[in-house]
């Protein structure tokens, strides 16, 4: 078992093409990245703040909400709204109890598979250091 931090990616099915990139018993493990789980939704605009909250409650170390590049939502405004909710600019906003340092919005297009994986790995490292900081301040 890898010691990489557990990251949940809630991804728009129209953004990065993950058709050939998922494996595992539930078909959610991202190939080549340990402990990264992908759940695909029709549009990043469907991501409710509660979905992100529950992912943290269920034991995720970090959560990524991923949509298409800002400006190019198939449903016009989904990624824009999702981004604004993450930033706390659009109701309903994310609860203050959610660790925002370990939440990230990624806005990428279909062909950017490799860049996406790199960003997930970077995010895992950042989550690890954030968790260390949180542990240090708690004790």
List of residues contacting another protein (CB under 8 A)? 6, 8, 10, 25-26, 28-29, 35, 37, 39, 41-43, 45-51, 54-55, 58-60, 69-72, 74-78, 81-82, 85, 91-92, 107, 109-112
**Nearest to another protein of 71, 135 (CB atom):** 71
Phi, psi of 36 (to 5 degrees): -115, 125
Please report how close the Cβ of residue 6 comes to another protein at its closest, in angstroms: 6
Measured distance CA(91)–CA(81) in Å, rounded: 9
Q: What is the DSSP string of 18-64?
A: -TTTEETTTT-EETTSTTEEEEEES-GGG--HHHHHHHHHTT-SEEE
Residue 45 Cβ, how far from another protein at the closest point, in Å?
A: 4
Is the CB of 70 or the CB of 132 nearer to another protein? 70
Q: Kindly state the smallest distance separating residue 119's Cβ from another protein, in Å.
A: 15
Collapsing DSSP to helix, strand or coil, 118 comes out as helix
Q: Which helix or strand (DSSP H or E) is residue 117 part of?
A: helix 113-138
| Minimum CB distance to another protein smaller for 2 or for 139 | 2
Q: Which is nearer to another protein, 76 or 133 (CB)?
A: 76
Whether the Cβ atoms of residue 52 and residue 62 lie closer than 8 Å to each other = no
How far apart are CB 106 and another protein at their closest, in Å? 13
């Amino acid at each position: 078992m890898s010691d990489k931090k557990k990251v949940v990616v809630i991804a728009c099915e129209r953004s990065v093409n993950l058709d050939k990139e998922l494996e595992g018993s539930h078909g959610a493990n991202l190939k080549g990245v340990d402990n990264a789980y992908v759940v695909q939704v029709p549009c990043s605009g469907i991501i409710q703040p509660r979905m992100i909250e529950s992912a943290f409650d269920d034991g995720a170390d970090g959560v990524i909400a991923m949509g298409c590049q800002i400006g190019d939502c198939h449903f016009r405004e989904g990624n824009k709204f999702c981004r604004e909710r993450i930033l706390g600019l659009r109701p309903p906003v994310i609860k203050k109890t959610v660790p925002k340092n370990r939440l990230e919005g990624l806005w990428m297009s279909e062909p950017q598979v490799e860049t996406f994986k790199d960003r997930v790995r970077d995010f895992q490292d950042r989550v690890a250091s954030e968790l260390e900081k949180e542990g240090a301040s708690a004790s």
